[in-house]
Amino acid sequence: MEWIIMGLLVFIVAVILILKSDWQNEKDKILKSQEHISRRNELTESQQYYIGDKCIGLSARKGYGKFPIAGAYYRDLPITMVGKFNGYAIAQTDNEYDQYAIAVYNDAGIHIGFLPRGNKKQHSYIIDEGEDKRVHAYGYLAWHGSGMYGEVCVETDKNAVTKRNKPYITD
């Protein structure tokens, strides 16, 4: 009888801990959304376009490939970073989660996210052809109710690039 009561008590404690964890995660999501909403007045008129659910077009130049930005949601970037950006992609050689990880940074050196996992061909290109294991990239970040998302165009063939590192107009 004691074992049944003890088992029931352990079960109840486990359920409470799980529910508390879920509640805390939901609370954190709500607080993050509220912070973004309160900072919307800091956005420029052109940045306002990148708020909400919509289809945003991004064209890849010759010698560039277009990729979704993975992990932007987890970077905890402020909403003031929405909009177009110029930057670079770096082939990481020490990433424990993806041996072909490619990190995306803006020109200010802020880590925005990654290219999708397992991009061996692009990773090899950046290491072999990139200057300091990096190549030019440009794209956009946008925000909807559940977080950041975006796309990036990354140099894939330096011989086909016609406008080498020409700044992406961000205004």
Digit-coded pLDDT (tens) for 11-24: 887 777 776 766 66
**30/56 same-domain check:** no
Confidence of residue 115 (pLDDT cuts 50, 70, 90): very high
More confident residue, 23 or 27: 23
Tell me what the pLDDT averaged over the chain comes to: 81
Beta strand 134-144 with 147-155 is antiparallel
- Domain total for the chain? 2
**71/116 same-domain check:** yes
Domain of residue 24 covers 1-38
The CATH number of whichever domain residue 80 belongs to comes to: 3.30.70
From CA 134, how far away is CA 136, in angstroms rounded?
A: 7
pLDDT at 164: 56
* 160 in any annotated domain: no
How many alpha carbons lie under 13 Å from residue 138 in its C-beta half-sphere?
17
In the β-sheet with 83-91, what is the strand arrangement from edge to edge? Answer: 64-68, 147-155, 134-144, 83-91, 102-106, 111-114
Distance of CA 138 to the CA centre of its chain: 13
Look up tokens 């803006």; give the residue: 106
**20/63 same-domain check:** no
pLDDT at 78: 86
* 17 in any annotated domain: yes
* 63 in any annotated domain: yes
pLDDT at 168: 57
Minimal CA–CA distance to 50: which of 137, 113, 138, 144?
144
* 112 in any annotated domain: yes
**23/102 same-domain check:** no
**25/55 same-domain check:** no
pLDDT one-digit tens code per residue, 73-114? 888 888 888 899 999 999 999 999 999 999 999 999 999 999
Return the CA Rg of the chain: 21
**115/151 same-domain check:** yes
**66/146 same-domain check:** yes
pLDDT one-digit tens code per residue, 31-90? 555 555 555 566 666 676 677 777 788 888 889 999 999 998 888 888 888 899 999 999
More confident residue, 136 or 30: 136
